[in-house]
Every structure is written in C-alpha cells, then in structure tokens.
Structure 1
C-alpha cells in the first residue's frame, strides 16, 4: 500500500459495489442535460448520474395498448423491460412493481410514470437506486454510494398506547376483497420546487403505490386509495408543529385556531371522504429532525393524520417514511423497548433480527448497521422472511394490528370516490444478489451468507459449529467451541483468569487495550503500545519517536512548515494539499463507501493525532504509524449522531450530535482509556459548531433559534445569548483577534461576533469570490481565513482582518476533491525515517543522533550549545576569545577553560591579554600595570567632596522650584 494512503473498512453491505447498478458509459451520459437539480447539490457527485432519453416517458404502452415497455438503457446488459402488470392511478399516472435480471442478479423495480415525469426505485445487489425522470432527462442516485442511511423514527408518533380495546381477528383471507381506506395528501412549496410541474403528483401517487405494495407483501388485505391532493402554503419547518397545526385544522375545536394555510382542509376532507390526511414535505435533517410523525388511531377522535418527509438530506433518506407513518395510523408500533409494546395492541411491534433484517416499523438509531437491513414488510408471523417467521404472535404482529384497524379507519368517512383499485401482485426480491430470494435467505443483506442452520445469528459459512446453536467459534481449533472450552486459546490459563482469552501469547493486559505485554511496550498506558526510544512516551504523542533530534513533524506555525488536510465527503477520502500553493499532494486516507458526510468534522491534537467522524464513529488517525482505529465507538455516543468535534490539549475531546435536544459529550483520553467524563444537554436546541474559550466556557451556536448557547465547563450552567446576523448557522472558528466567525447556510454569508456573542457585522458576504454554501471555516497559520465552499467543491481564502477575497486556495476537483466538509492545518513531515536515529537527514555525513543540526547540512556541531553551529560561530567555546585569535596563538577554540590559563606565565590570563591586545605567548608582552591610586590626606578626596556638595545644592534648588 502506498505510504500515506490508508483504507478504512466498516461492516456495511450497502453500496459496496459502487455504481455497478448504474454502470452508465460516458457515451450514454448526455452532455446536454440541464444543471443538477438543487436538492441533489449536496449529494456526492460520484453517486449521481444524468442522461437523456428520446421521449418524455420511461414507461410506454404499445400502439395496440396491450403491452408495456420500460426503458432500461441506463442499466448495462438490460434492454427494454416488458411489464406485465401495471396499476392505473386515478390521476392518470401508472405504477408497477417488477422483478428483472442483470446477469445473475435479481433486481426489483418500483416506478410510477406520469405524462412527462417519473419517480421510482431500483433495488438489489445490496444497492438502492432512486430514479427521477423530468421530461427527457433521467437522474439516478445511488443511495448507498451517497452514504444516505434510512431515516430516524425515534419519537415519531403521538397518542396513547393500547388506548383502544379491539377484539383480535384473523387476517383477512387473500381471496376476500381488500378494505379501502381513502387518503388525501397535502404538499408544500418545497415539494413543488423539488418536483416541479406534474412531477409532484407523480411522486404522491408513487408514495401511495409503494405503501400498498408493502401491505400486499405483508399479507394484509387493505389498500390505500388516493382521493385528492392539495397544495398548501405551510412553511414551519418543524414536523411536530406541522402535525399540531394539521390537527387544529381538522379537530373542529373552536378553541384551537386553524392556521390560515390550512383553513380549507377540513372541508376538502369531507368533500372527498378522506379517512386519513397526510402532509408530504421534502426532508431536511437540520430543520425537521426525524423523517416524519404520525397520530395513532383514537376512539375519541376522527382525526387521523401524519407528516411524512420524502427525499434525502444530510446523509439520510426518507424513502420509506410514508409507509412507516401510515403504519402508525393503523396502530402499528416500533419494536418493543424494555419489553414494553410500542403500538396500540400488545402484539403491535416490529421484528428486528440483529445483523440480519428488520421490518418496516423498526426504529433504529443513527450509526447502527441494522438501519441498512430494512425489509419493506410489516411483521407477520404467518409469513416467512429471512428464512424464519416474519414476526411473533405475541410481540411482533403489526400485520394483525393493521388488519384490525383497517375497517375502523375506513369507516371514518363515507366514501365519495368509487374508483376501483387495480390488483397488485406480491413482489419477489433478492436484495443482496446472492441468488436466494429474501423470503428464504437468512441473511437477505449479506451476499456471503444465506443459511443459519442452528439459528444462532452466525451464518453457516462463518460458523465453526453450524449445527450447534450454543457454539460459533473455536479459536484454538481443538474441536471444542469457545462457549464450552474453558481455555479458548489453549495457553494453559483458564479463560476466567485470562485477560486475553483469545490470545495464546499473553494472559494479562494491565491497561485494557487488548494488547498483552509480549507486544505492548507500554502495558500501563491504554493510549499506546509502542515506545521506540524507550522514553516512556508512546509513539503516538512523542513528536520525536527515535529521539534523534529531528522532530517527526513540524509545528504548523506558518504556511511554509504546514500542509492542509481536507475531508472530501464526495470521495470518502481525506486529501493532502501544499499549504503555500494549494496544490494536491496525495490522499492521506480513504474510508469505506458512504463513510464521510456533511457531518464528518476533523480536529488535530497538539501531538498531531487526527480525529474525524466516519460512519457515526469517531476515528483516530495516527500519523506515526499511518493507521486508524475507532477512538469512540458509536455505542459510546448517547445520540449516535456525531456532527462536530473540538479538542482541549491532547487528552480531551468534545463530541456533539446534531439532533434535538443536542448533546455534547466530553471524553478524556488517559492511560486508563477513553472515558466519558461529562455531558452537556441543550434545552431543546439544534446545536452546531462550538469553540472552547479560555474562561472555562464552551460557546456553541444553535441553528434552529439563531442564537449562541454558553456552557460553563465546571458547573454545566447553560446561558442563552441572543444576537443578530445568524441564519441556519453551521460552522465556527476564532480569528486571529479572538473574535468568532460563523458560517450561515441560510444567508450563505459569514458573520463576526465577539466572544460574548455581540454581533460585529458581516465579515464575508454571500457569493464573495464565488462562495457557494459556506461549510467548514478555519484560521490559517498566516492569519487568513479558509472556507469550504461545499457545493462548488472549492476551498477559498479570505483576508483574516478585512474578510476580502484573496483567491481560490484549492480548485474544484483538485486531487478528486468533492464536497469539502472539514479542513485542518497539520505540520509537515520532517523525519523521513521516524524510527531510525542513525539516519542522516541532511546528508552531511553525520548521523542524526550525532548531529547537533540534523536538518542543516552546513552544521554538525555546537560546542557551546548556544544554538549557533561551529561553522558559523566565531567563538565556538564561548570563552570570550575569537576562534581566529585562539588558532593564531596555539590555543584551543573548543576549550573554554584556556581563557583563564596563562600560556606565557607572565601573570596575565590569556583572556586578559586578548582584551588588551598583548601576546599571550610572549612573557615580555605584558599588559601595562594599572596606575597607582592618588595620594590622600585622610578624610577622603577633596574634589569628590566638592562635587557632592555641588550636586546637593542643585537638588535643593530643584525641590524648591528655583
């Protein structure tokens, strides 16, 4: 592997195959496509491709109207696809679900076609592709490659659990008519902006079709019928406020005022007989938090509503949100928490099989790999998914609950629309592309595993005992599984007494770092295992590992001794650039697909250890060994959504999340481990970046309320600081004068404040120097300000005093730069051989350990240790006699003691003779004796006495003002 280039791999099946599904050749990508849609501007460019088609529809009907064909030209080796069953929607759009093959892979296509727009998804081979068609332009978004994790559903439902007493029934037989529930969908301006023209209607029809497909695939004989769509002017970004407003518009309570934008909604509900009303909006993680929110059915109210986001934002997607929130409207719940049901019936719960799959109502935190393993079905113990029952009759039977509430929900309004719904066929999927359908695949998202014979959670291929559920591994290969074996590594020490039971080399691990003393050179220091120069300081924090006098890295105090590291979210890499020229050097490291996102902050410690966020973990990059490790696992982070970092010295790291309420955790990196020591919880604010101030204060900026929040690091006291000029603030830094600079995603400018939060004015205006959306911001060692223009893929430089634009410091796509999200200045490597003290860095013939100036080829020795090499020093031994004088007079220029010697024994030291200019080697050349003192007559010197009297007189006159 090339030096300085590192790879970080995490367990994630999503998107590992890159763009294999798209596979579009350059010939197919038409240069005449219009600009990338705005809602995709923050998506990794490598995950988005555009092309043109000959017509304005991907789904077309034959001239005889008896067959349907779908244009698959964007997928290699797949021609036009014949579609056998198409559902005609009330608005004139058409929807379908179909299985197709690409080579040996089974793919599932869900798509809705309008007159001149289309929207759908293609899934399989552990990939998910969003298809957006606008007239003759098709945009493809690879969800996995873009690092877009499924949405967050924590606290996304309101209503009393188990508030209704519904007699349990059996699922309706498949040969009985489906129960139809009428829905009305409201959509907002951001939907119109993102999906213009008729595409908004196409999207809404697709959401309805997709939810119906999930109902069919779950064995539920209920169907949603979209009876009306309506534009509304609602603008409040909060999902919770939107739900409250919608409830007020429909509850017919005169004491709850209806927002003006929703005045007509109650009448429309009655006009079209809508049982459920949902508001559809685009996803905005920064503004909305969760992907959606819904109301449980309630016996005391006929209001059944939900707010569902669609699309992608901030590293997450809300592709399945509408189906999830509709499930809540039917009483379905998340998986049990502390063995307590989360739905309206005891069995109303999702099925979550860890590391295998989970059903559509699951609620899984950010950073949990199981978020990527969602199957679009409701839990149902009467069906098979993942090779086992797709639910549990007592704790995971959401299908039964949906079935129970279907007739109740359908009766909320008398049907007005009588459109007969077309049949939808059950779908057949193979999401990991291993040739085994998901129903029968014990690991539907793992192409390396298909069976788990003993149902112990470990696939047969990895299970050393695939027929024994009590055993999975046999470390010492003695035929006895680790769970039974009392000495797993067969080192003679029982596991109960073995600190490293899987390592036969060691049995103790004093510092708990997982490395025993046979390898660990610092077995009482959790932070390191290596100490090359035996100075009791681990290599990680030792800036001169071989103790040869050559620092491993320079201190980044100027551009000349610095380099710039930029996190490139679009390429999942961190890149090195020359700090003086901005020219690309090489990749510093790479992470797995989807590892970096808009929240991948970076900080550098004093010892130049890099900490950054990837895959919801905090990663540490060790410059000394060019290796990475997880410094803080996502399981240690209460919020599982790290977004900003800060350091205090080498031992303290602050980590914050981006949700509401925001949490900032303080971790101490000590010899005992990386330990959580403090937690700061904001009062229902979305915190973004923060700085640590010298007065023991942490000052954070709150994006949602456009204000600062100050935390006392000792008392944890929180203070709200109202100010001006903030507009969806994101990043922050201190300038050379100690003032705060804040980037504003809303107004796209940068504003300045003092550390008390007082507004000092706009510092950098929107668009200055081509600035797009301002992202990361950093003070450079030259005193200037460096700003990531995240949507133009540049790093811009501005004057640190005036804010005036200087230049484009790093050009777009330099070194592959895409979407810069964080930037740090690091020291340059100085010691090419950091673990070789015998190396001669300056090639002057003297090894570093023997060279007083190992980086200066003109110097090797400094006899008097005054910092000036002997070649430049005119007095090498600093004895007061120049080297030339000593050499001319046969003295030693490297021996300071000869200054006090008397070479010619004439009673004067060599130094005295130099000072008066006599010859130290000639006894006859002697310094003249000092003149005898003048004679005195007792009582002292008369002239001196006269002088003192005169001065005293002057003093008296001055005091008297004379």
Structure 2
C-alpha cells in the first residue's frame, strides 16, 4: 500500500510492518473469531515480590502475599484479588496466566498459548456464557431422592468434605495447552469452583487426583461422550478410546470423572453437560453418574468460562438451573437464583444472546448468604446450597480416598466489586451496572433510572404528566386513549390503517402496506419507483453488482465492486455486533434491505440509505427493542423469499438453527414488512434427517434447496412444507461442505473445505456432477462463501488466502483473483447485491459524494489531491510541484453535478497584508465512477492531461474519531490544513504560503493520536512530478519543522516551520483557533 505522497512512505512502511507483525502473532485459538483488537499481549513482570502487567493503560499489580490456593501438583498459584477498577481471578503458572478480569467495566479472559499470555476482551453483548446441556437421564423423582437421602442418615453439616476429581482429556486440548499450560488451565477451573463453594457458605472443596490423556478423539457431541463415559464406568469396560477409564478411576479413587475437551458449538452442542446423582436403593447411589463434560474456549456466539466446572459439578451434587422445571429438580428447592437484569448465581441458564448470561456471580443459591444486596436465594424454592450440603458426603463417598495429593487450601469469601462503583457485589443490587446500586421498590429498575423509585408498579413516565406509563390511560398525552391509540408513545401518530408500522400522518400511502413514502411526489411509492427523487438518475444500476463479504477474523462486513474488485469500505462495523462462522446474509429485493445474523440476532440494514446503521430486527430471546425473538441463540442459515411484493407489503425470511439434540431440524420463517413482523407458528420446511443442521439455503424461483451438515441436500417449495431429500442421501462426493450455489442449468456447486474443491451435484439426478475446480492445484485452500454474478462468473472466497476467486460459470475456467486482501480476514459467507446508481435516492440535488480525504494516481505517487466535501459543493486541492520542482498547491471549488465536478483551476497568493488574491490558471474536471474512483482531466495554459485517481485508504480499521476535512481559521483566510483520518491514523497536509506569498504545502508524519497531535513536518521537492513534467517519478524529502494541533473541544494550531532552501520564509502560529470548515464525513463507501 502506498500513500500518494512519498514523504509518508517511511512512516507507512512502519505501519505495514507492524500490521504484518501483528497478524503473524498466533492468537489464542480458544477464542478464534473475535476481532484483532480484542487480543492484548501481556508481559509479566515479577519484581520485588510483586507480579504486574500493563493493560488498558493501567499497571496491574498483584502482590504474592494475597490469599492464594495451590493444587500441590505444581508451583502454580491461584488467587482472587480486588483491583482499583475491578477484580481479577486467575492462576499463574510458569510463564502462563489463566483466569478472568473485570477492569474499567470491561471483561477480559486471561489465557496463554505458545505465543504468550493474552488478555482477551469480550464484547459487551452478543455472547453466551457456559451454555449447559444438562442431562436428564438420571432420576428426578424428588420424593424418592429425599427419602433415600434421609435413609442414608447423612449430615448436612459434615465439615471439610473433599470430593476427589479425575480429569480426563483428549489430544486436542493438550495441543491447545501443551506441557505445563494444561495443568495451569485446570488449576484455574478448580480455583473458581472452590471459591464458589466458599462464597456460598458450603464447607466443601474439590481436589484433583489425576490428569490423564485418553484416546477418545471423536469429534462428537458432549451428550454422546457423557453417555459413553458413564457406561464405561458402569460396566467397568471402556470402549472407543475410553478403555483405560475404569482403571484410572479405580487407581485414583476419584469420586467424579470430568472430561475436558475443546469447544465446537456445532459438534458439542453446549459448553458442558452432567448428570444428577442417581439413587439405586435405600443406602446407595450409582457412582457411575458422577461424570460431567467440559468444553473449553469459544465457538461462534458461545463462550465457556472458568465457572463451567463449578456449574457442572453443581449438577453432580443435585443443583439445578435457576429455571429448572419443578418435575426436573433433584429436590424441590434445588434451583439456582436470578434477578433478571441484575444478577444470577452460577447455576443460571439463559439462552445464548440473553443479556442475563453476562450477570453471573460466583455463588450457589443460598437464602442464608447475601449477594446482590439481598438473600442469594429463596427458602423452599431456590436453595442449591441446601441440596449440595445434603449430597456432598454422598458424592465424596463414591470412592474410597486413595490419593496423597495435598488437600485444597482454605478459601475465604471473595469480596469483589465487579462494576467498580465502590459497592461490594454482596451489597450491590446491580453488581454489573456501575450506574446503579439500589432498587428500593424491588421492581428490577435501579433507583437512578426509575421515575418512580418507591412504586414497584411504575418505572417510567413518557409524557411527564406525573402518571406512570402502566397506569396512564393516555401514555403520550395526545388526547387519544391508549386503547384506541396504535402508537401509545408517539404523540404525532394515533392510527395505522394499513398496519405497516408507519402512522397515517407520516405515511404517504396510508392504505397500502407495501408503500409508505413518495419522495418525489409522483404518486409512485419509493419501493416501486425506479427514480425516487425524480432527478433523472435511476436508483439502482441493474447491470452492475457489489459484493458484501462477512469477514469473521476481524468482525466486519465489507463491500466491494463485483466487476473490478475495488474496495468500497466497511458496510457493517465491528461494534455493530459479532460475526462468526454461523453468520449468514440475504438480500430483500422488495425493500432493498439486507438481513444478516450477528451476535445471535437477525439484523437489518437499509442499503438505499448512505447514513443507515444496522437495526436489531429479531433477537434470540425477548428484547423490547426487537420485533420478535428466535427462541434460540444459534441461528445458522437465512434466506429471503424474493417473490413479488405481496399486497400486505411483506417479505418471507426463512431461517434455521443449530440442532442441539438428536431431534429433527426444521426451517422456520417470518413475514416481514417495512416495520412489522409476523411470526409463523409452524415450520415452513421440515422432514430433515434426524440430527441434521441446515447450513445453507439456496432459492431458484420458488424452489428451495437446503444443504445439510451431514452432507445431504434437501428440496422443497414455498407451498409444500415438507422437504424431500435429493436422491438416497448418500453424497459420498461431499466430505465437509460449507456453502453452495444453485445454477439455472440444474447444478448445485458446493465449496468443500476438506477436499479444497468446488464439487458439483446434478439436481435432476441427485448424482455426482464432477469437480468444478480443484483449488488446491491452484494454490488455494479453505473455500467458504460463494455467489454467481449476473455476467456469469462464480465468485468463491478462500479463507486461508483472504482472497476472492472468480471462475467462468459455463466453461469452469479460472479467471484469476478478483480481490486480494482488501481488509478481509477469514472471509466467510458473501452476497451479491445491486449496485446503486444514485447514492442519495431521496435527494434530487445529490447523486453521490466522493469520500473525503486524499486521492492519488498510484503511477505518480508523490503528488495528489485532497477533496473536501461541503454539502453539495467540493473543494479540490491539488498538491503538486511547479516548473522549478518546488511544492505548490492549486485549488478549485464548485458544485458536484451528478457524477461530475467541472470548474476553474485557481492559484492563490498571499499579499504582505495577509490578504489573498486569486488567479485563474486553467481548468479541472473530475468525473467520479463511484465514491472511490474517478477520472481527472486538467488544463494549465497550453498543457493538459488526464489520469485515473483513487481515494487513498491507508488503514482498514473504522475511525473512532474522524477529523477528516478542511480546517482553517473561522474567518477562512485562504489557508488551512487538510486533515486525513483513516482508522486510528491521521496525516496533516497544511496548504500555506512562503515568504513571497507563493502557495506551498508540507506534510506530516503519520500519527496515531486521537485528537492532540505533535507532528514533524517535511517539505517535498520533485523535478519529475509537476503537471507537465516527464520522467521517472522521484522526489526529495527535507525536514521543515514541527506543528501542533489540538482538534478536541477548542481546536487550535501552533506552527514552528521554516521553509527549507530554496523556499524562503517560515510559518509561525501560536494556538491559532481553527474550525472544520467542510462537512463532517459520512461513513466511507
């Protein structure tokens, strides 16, 4: 990548080098899928008896004199420690650190791999923690369980009870944590478990008595492994890689056997699974049910944390989830405890995407213990501690104790303050919300946010009339009672005749659900109108397409020109959600909008609106901001039914989910209007094979094809709900299919990751149709998403090379690489969408706006342009050289008419009194192809020329603060600075004057500051880059001084610049006030 000015070449090479170095670091594979900036490398310092590391701008110090535990298996040290702005619970091993940390209201996972120690920042929403698939194969006969416990004459006050655990694992987990790392990882699980017992007032601890590798390397579900493990112990003979388990358990005297493996939500189905104890007679329990499975790490939207072992052992001790149905509890009061929206205990069970999953305290429910400012349970209903106390001796007696492993250290109650608000979690009614600590009326809304903090029946007063919204008969005070008002909280609307979600007052078509707006007043609604603003430019170019690509490695959706491969920017930003390998996207042609799955949700984006941001459409579980919910956290494939817009103004959206049991899967659907949604109460398509996951959906006309993860293909129509399998279901030519496309000539083309091939299935005969392309022989691997262009090209993403390939669909000829890099990191699903001809389809005065910033011709790097956008006008600065090779700038300003900017080229000069005179020296014309590409034509005197120019992007990251634009004194004296921000990098190009009043420019180094910039400036000279010059482009860089800019609240500019010879003079400023005189930039397109 090159900047258009050679001065920044050195700085930019440094940027490229650092980026390459960062990408070569091996991020922890346990948390693959998070964006690059989520991973923070830690360097541990161990000086003066203090462990410390730096994170988030703070030095985190941990004295070794803290309360700690040791397993005795190694020198690992586990601890829980309160920080000034959070807390840390971790295990330090030799050159390793595992645990979790809250710091400045951010949640970090601490982990270690062979590359080093990492603090992995988790996104604030969109993940699930410790998704549990509790097995009900053991008894839930509460009367019998109670009787057997009583007949066993067990005490619930047994002191110092120790449960010995044998931890088994497969080769995958030992590869993830080689050598001593695995023991350190296990020690952290044990530490959190024992700390949770202590916090809950349970006199119980678990002790590791073995850590053993097995030969069980099947990539199957957790429930299947659980059953295999239990049966191996029950009959005393292991199989399928578990042959040594019965002997290992007998030799170690383990009461519980735990199997630790890697997480894969599609294969495992959950983070963990366990059995309740199973009583078999009046005095005995079946010890073979003392087993559980733990999956380590993150997969898609599910993350398995350090609390997982405590949770699953809780099941082994009779503890149930907070929402366990009465008939499924081991004892009637054996449930967890949760105050929704506030906090929950370690046995909480919430669906993926439910925010309550983030609010888990290290406690078992116990009404006698305080957590969250009140009793941590309900007597007779939520008291897992009572159940555990009655069963801990039962479980501890599963086996005679044989191990000489040291007993766990004593644990005290951990006094933590997770939200760093100064109130301990045990006293804080909102331990995860730093703006709230008290809920006086107990309605779940903190006093600071509650309009009626002492009234449990009211929390808000929309119209501020003193009546709470729940009791106010007219919530918006518009004179229409709520019972008759379709819009209770919108005083500008009361009726919606066509039920399209747009009130009659704002609806241009109040009786047509398919339309609501007519921008040009021509009587045709925008959805049907080909030219919404009647400016003579059609809204959509039906001959061209753009390509949207989900890039899971850096968590974003990118847009490219499907004809040229030119990058068009970030369509969906990283902070708009979380993309994973389960994410999918589909286009709704009726309303020109995108549907996509992110952070367990279905979101929508208006592709016609350049200012649009994604909106939550369908949440995984109840969310008042969504139209409905999926009732699952794992949507898998989606497809819009692009039939002609029906009279009700709706589009069908079909979706499927990961099947987390062996039940048959189905495809469900919603009927979605512009602002409304109807849920179908029945599956659209069913009759898939048992245990099948549908990973892709393709539609040809009204025929739907479904790709199953077990390699089968199904077919159905919109009118016939049951699907049929194509052929006999034996698709031996598919090994690991990822996606598919359907062609008009009856082919299904699959991307097969295991074979690194594109494989054809003949639809009519349901037979093998051959190899479309052998990607391995072409040097590519890991094919993912695909789509077919209107001009007959098959586009294929290859994740390992971050490249989009193109093939001739008919001849199967390889046409080369369409896109290489382009900001992609592990490209996943992709989708072709219509290219917009009129980017401002509802504004007759605008067709497009070029991206503000630097533009250049790569062939003449060293000179270029800066384009400032002033609403409907552009100012173009040409940074070039005069005939003597000295830096000079020209300017031009005029309206942008359609795609064309055509005006005079001007040269300014500063007089001795500071005034500026203007001379017309020629002409400039720029015709924009799109926001990032144009053709520039110029004429100066008798000289003229033409060249292609492109918007310069020198960072692929989104901007947190975008200063791009023209900045000058408020009185705009004819000089200023061009500021260019790309991602976290900013460059300044001041356009100023020398001693003789001639216009000169300098350029800064690349800065990564946010708003305050101390910059080194240089001048550039060239004898070959002036407009009429020829020869090999070359330039000379000379230091020119320094400048300081503060672009925060009261922007100013200071300058100490001396022009290098042969330019004379200097440019001195002392905190001169400046403002941005151009428009604030919109999202780059």
With normalisation by structure 1, the TM-score equals 0.76
Give how far 1:507 is off.
2.3
What does residue 610 of structure 1 align with? Answer: 594
Q: How many residues align?
A: 795
1:194 aligns with 2:176: yes
1:676 aligns with 2:679: yes
- For 1:90, which of 56, 60, 72 is the aligned residue? 72
Give how far 1:571 is off.
4.4
CA distance in 2, matches of 1:59, 1:216: 30
CA distance in 1, matches of 2:693, 2:234: 34
1:496 aligns with 2:496: no
CA distance in 2, matches of 1:526, 1:223: 63
What does residue 302 of structure 1 align with? Answer: 287
What does residue 608 of structure 2 align with? Answer: 624
- For 1:643, which of 625, 636, 640 is the aligned residue? 636
Aligned pairs (5 A) from 1:104-503: 104-113=84-93, 115-134=94-113, 137-144=116-123, 148-161=127-140, 162=142, 163-165=144-146, 166-167=149-150, 177-236=159-218, 237-252=220-235, 258-300=238-280, 301-303=286-288, 304-319=290-305, 320-336=307-323, 340=326, 342-418=328-404, 419-503=406-490
SS across alignment from 2:123: coil
What does residue 762 of structure 2 align with? Answer: 754
- For 1:47, which of 14, 31, 38 is the aligned residue? 38
CA distance in 1, matches of 2:195, 2:801: 39
Give how far 1:465 is off.
0.8
CA distance in 2, matches of 1:770, 1:231: 37
CA distance in 1, matches of 2:411, 2:528: 63
What does residue 78 of structure 1 align with? Answer: 59
- Does the aligned pair in 2 maintain the 1:346–1:395 contact within 8 Å? yes
CA distance in 2, matches of 1:833, 1:93: 65
Compared with structure 1, are the counterparts of its residues 447 and 528 closer, same or farther at alpha carbon in structure 2 (3 Å cutoff)? farther
The C-alpha deviation readout for 1:271-301, integer Å capped at 9, x for no partner, is 1111111111000112111112111101121
Give how far 1:59 is off.
8.7
Compared with structure 1, are the counterparts of its residues 503 and 37 closer, same or farther at alpha carbon in structure 2 (3 Å cutoff)? closer
CA distance in 1, matches of 2:674, 2:549: 30
Give how far 1:610 is off.
1.3
- Does the aligned pair in 1 maintain the 2:28–2:113 contact within 8 Å? no
The C-alpha deviation readout for 1:786-817, integer Å capped at 9, x for no partner, is 223335443333443465654343332x2x43
Give how far 1:232 is off.
0.6
Give how far 1:714 is off.
3.4
SS across alignment from 1:81: strand
- Does the aligned pair in 1 maintain the 2:102–2:419 contact within 8 Å? no
CA distance in 1, matches of 2:899, 2:397: 88
Aligned pairs (5 A) from 1:727-806: 727-735=735-743, 737-756=745-764, 757-765=766-774, 767=776, 771-801=780-810, 805-806=814-815
Compared with structure 1, are the counterparts of its residues 708 and 832 closer, same or farther at alpha carbon in structure 2 (3 Å cutoff)? closer
CA distance in 2, matches of 1:180, 1:59: 35
The C-alpha deviation readout for 1:447-483, integer Å capped at 9, x for no partner, is 3322212111112222111111111111221112122
CA distance in 2, matches of 1:781, 1:694: 14
What does residue 710 of structure 1 align with? Answer: 715
Compared with structure 1, are the counterparts of its residues 343 and 432 closer, same or farther at alpha carbon in structure 2 (3 Å cutoff)? same
Structure 1 unaligned runs (5+)? 1-25, 843-853, 858-962
- Does the aligned pair in 2 maintain the 1:332–1:349 contact within 8 Å? yes
- Does the aligned pair in 1 maintain the 2:803–2:817 contact within 8 Å? yes
What does residue 670 of structure 2 align with? Answer: 667
CA distance in 1, matches of 2:551, 2:30: 19
Give how far 1:405 is off.
0.9
Moved more, 492-501 or 283-292: 492-501
The C-alpha deviation readout for 1:910-959, integer Å capped at 9, x for no partner, is xxxxxxxxxxxxxxxxxxxxxxxxxxxxxxxxxxxxxxxxxxxxxxxxxx
- Does the aligned pair in 2 maintain the 1:186–1:230 contact within 8 Å? yes
Moved more, 503-512 or 392-401: 503-512
Give how far 1:33 is off.
7.9
Give how far 1:737 is off.
4.0
What does residue 907 of structure 1 align with? Answer: none
What does residue 546 of structure 1 align with? Answer: 533
Structure 2 unaligned runs (5+)? 1-16, 281-285, 621-627, 644-650, 850-896, 901-1085
- Does the aligned pair in 2 maintain the 1:149–1:317 contact within 8 Å? yes
SS across alignment from 1:663: coil
SS across alignment from 2:164: strand
What does residue 828 of structure 2 align with? Answer: 821
Give how far 1:306 is off.
0.8
Give how far 1:125 is off.
3.6
- Does the aligned pair in 2 maintain the 1:769–1:807 contact within 8 Å? no
SS across alignment from 2:241: helix
Higher relative strand content: 2
What does residue 19 of structure 1 align with? Answer: none
CA distance in 1, matches of 2:845, 2:556: 35
CA distance in 1, matches of 2:759, 2:569: 33
- Does the aligned pair in 1 maintain the 2:696–2:707 contact within 8 Å? yes
- Does the aligned pair in 2 maintain the 1:459–1:466 contact within 8 Å? yes
- Does the aligned pair in 2 maintain the 1:707–1:723 contact within 8 Å? yes
- Does the aligned pair in 1 maintain the 2:33–2:579 contact within 8 Å? no
Compared with structure 1, are the counterparts of its residues 744 and 145 closer, same or farther at alpha carbon in structure 2 (3 Å cutoff)? farther
Compared with structure 1, are the counterparts of its residues 443 and 228 closer, same or farther at alpha carbon in structure 2 (3 Å cutoff)? same
The C-alpha deviation readout for 1:254-283, integer Å capped at 9, x for no partner, is xxx631422221122111111111111000
Aligned pairs (5 A) from 1:579-594: 579-590=562-573, 592=575, 594=577
CA distance in 1, matches of 2:576, 2:730: 40
CA distance in 1, matches of 2:617, 2:522: 24
Compared with structure 1, are the counterparts of its residues 766 and 328 closer, same or farther at alpha carbon in structure 2 (3 Å cutoff)? farther
Moved more, 439-448 or 830-839: 830-839
SS across alignment from 1:454: coil
SS across alignment from 1:203: helix
CA distance in 2, matches of 1:567, 1:86: 44
CA distance in 1, matches of 2:32, 2:802: 11
What does residue 819 of structure 2 align with? Answer: 810
- Does the aligned pair in 2 maintain the 1:685–1:702 contact within 8 Å? no
Compared with structure 1, are the counterparts of its residues 801 and 540 closer, same or farther at alpha carbon in structure 2 (3 Å cutoff)? same
SS across alignment from 2:507: coil
CA distance in 2, matches of 1:414, 1:433: 45
What does residue 877 of structure 1 align with? Answer: none
Compared with structure 1, are the counterparts of its residues 61 and 282 closer, same or farther at alpha carbon in structure 2 (3 Å cutoff)? farther
With normalisation by structure 2, the TM-score equals 0.68
Compared with structure 1, are the counterparts of its residues 739 and 505 closer, same or farther at alpha carbon in structure 2 (3 Å cutoff)? same
CA distance in 1, matches of 2:124, 2:73: 34
CA distance in 2, matches of 1:537, 1:28: 50
Compared with structure 1, are the counterparts of its residues 190 and 723 closer, same or farther at alpha carbon in structure 2 (3 Å cutoff)? same
Kindly report the root-mean-square deviation, in angstroms, between the aligned alpha carbons of the 2 structures.
3.3
CA distance in 2, matches of 1:575, 1:219: 52
CA distance in 2, matches of 1:399, 1:623: 53
CA distance in 2, matches of 1:811, 1:148: 31
CA distance in 2, matches of 1:831, 1:30: 41
- Does the aligned pair in 1 maintain the 2:154–2:393 contact within 8 Å? no
SS across alignment from 1:204: helix
The C-alpha deviation readout for 1:854-878, integer Å capped at 9, x for no partner, is 9999xxxxxxxxxxxxxxxxxxxxx
